[in-house]
Each structure stands twice: as structure tokens, then as C-alpha cells.
Amino acid sequence: MFSGLARTAAILVAFLLGALIPQAHAFSGAIQWLIMGMLFLVFLCTNWTRQSLQRSHLLLLAANLFMAFAGLALGWLVGGREVGLAGFFAGIAPTAAAAPVIISFMRRDVTYVTAAFLVTNLVVAALLPVLLPWVLGEVDATLFLRVTGTVALLIFTPMALALIVRRIYPSAVQWPARLRDVSFGAWVMTLFLVMANASHFLRTQADVSRLMLVEIAAVTILICAANFALGRWIGGRIYGPEASQSLGQKNTSFTLFLALTYASPLVALGPTCYILWHNLWNSWQLHRVHRKTPQPPAP
């Protein structure tokens, strides 16, 4: 099993190798299949009941949508359309599949974060076919149908497949725990391919200014910090850490693929930067938990 330190190192190495090997962008078509595989495993072990839903989950959903348009507005003010779109794709991302795992390491309520994952992913996936054409300025039926097909493939196909497999083979709910390292490896490979794609774009587009890259990085780190802080406020005394994680740790691989497909690799740097920011914060949180946990005496 990967330790917390090994996971952090693997993520940073994936970013570094992707930046150094832009040729790997040729395999970026594998990103959607890696995402679908990871979501399939998540849906296999996801159990949710009506009792799991809290009033704060609806507030988290509203905050998720609000931060998307706040990112769009802030980015547009800072650097124009491309930076605004980068902020939107970073902000609209729903709760990450890995958020329940991180919250379990923090010894908090996994059920709460799992419910947030389901609510935000399903609602955001349903809304994106309507929102994306409007945000991209291409309001037509063709783009609506294309986005609908992409979202259905990425989110609803692995969910339906997981439900079928669970019904036919109930023991399949144990697969995600057994394949946790495989799922993490798929996530690391996704990061590598995403960074390679971004690196290839930056190397071949000489007209992209460094200022714009700094603007995208600045906007996304502000969105990230605001998400974790706003989530903690929404969760209050009881669910503060859980709500913070639910709003702050995002399923950026989903919106990153949409940005690559319907916008540009430059816009995709928004969710790419967000990946770095929320993983750095997660590493710090896990480090604090490790320090506070009593360690067994040395033999």
C-alpha cells in the first residue's frame, strides 16, 4: 500500500515527468477511460440512503455552482476570456472520488462526504450540457448533444455498469478496497497525461504569455482556498472538515477532460493547477493528522 508520503511524491513526480515528456500527449485519449475506470470502482462501493442527505449538502451544491461562476467572473476580470474559462472549469468540478478516502484518513464521517460526492457529481453532470454551451458562447443544439453524450459516457455509464455488476455479483463491493493502489496508479497516470498535454501545448504555442499562466495559477489557488474555507463554514461545528473536503477537493479529472475536449489545453490548465493546489493542501492536512496521532512506542 502507498503511504501518505509516497502518494504525495507520486503526484509530484507525475507532474514533473509530464512536463518533461510532452510527447506523451499522443496518448491523451486514454484519459477518459482512466477516469471511467476510477469512477466505476467508486460507484461499486458507494452506498447512499435518503437519511445520508443533510441540509448542508444542498448548500454545498449551491456553493459549488456559485464558485464556478465566481471563478469565471474573477478570471475574466484578471486576464480575459481564457483565464475566465479556466476559472470556471476549476470551480464547476464536483466533489472528488478520492474525497471520502482522504476524510477517512482524517478519521471523520465518510458517509457525509460520500453523499456530497453523489449529489454534486450527479447534479453537475446533469447541468453541464446546458451550462457549457452558454459559457463557451456556442449556444446550439449540436454542442448540447455532444456535451450530453460526453457526460453520459464519463459519469452515468460507469455508474450504471457498477449497479449492474453489484446486482449480479454482490461481492464486487470489495473490489475497490483490494484495488486501491490500482485506482491510485490510474489517477497518477491521468495526471501525467494531463501535464504532458499541457506541456506540449505550451511548447508549441509561442504566443501564450507567462503572465497568463501566472493569472490562471493565481485565480485557481484563490478558488481552491475559498472552497475549503467556505465548505468549513457551511459544515459548521459538526461537519466542518467533511464539508470543507467535499467542496475543496474536486473531481477535476472530469472537468479537465471537458476543457480539453470543448475549450483548449490552455483553459485546461485551470483544473490542472487546481489538482496541484488541493493535493498540496491534502498533504498538509494528512501531515497534521499524523503528527496529532499518538505513535506506538519503539520496541
Q: Where are the domains of the chain?
A: 26-286
User: At 285, is the pLDDT very low, low, confident or very high (cuts 50, 70, 90)?
Assistant: confident
Instruction: Report the alpha-carbon distance of residue 153 to residue 156 in Å, rounded.
Output: 6
Please give the Cα distance from 132 to 138 (Å, whole number): 8
The yes-or-no verdict on residue 295 having pLDDT over 70 is: no
Q: What is the mean pLDDT of the chain?
A: 84
Tell me the pLDDT band of 299, cut-offs 50, 70 and 90.
very low
Domain covering 26-286 in this structure, CATH number: 1.20.1530.20
Query: CB 235: neighbour CB atoms within 10 A?
Result: 24
Rounded to a whole number of angstroms, the distance between the first and last alpha carbons of the chain is 23
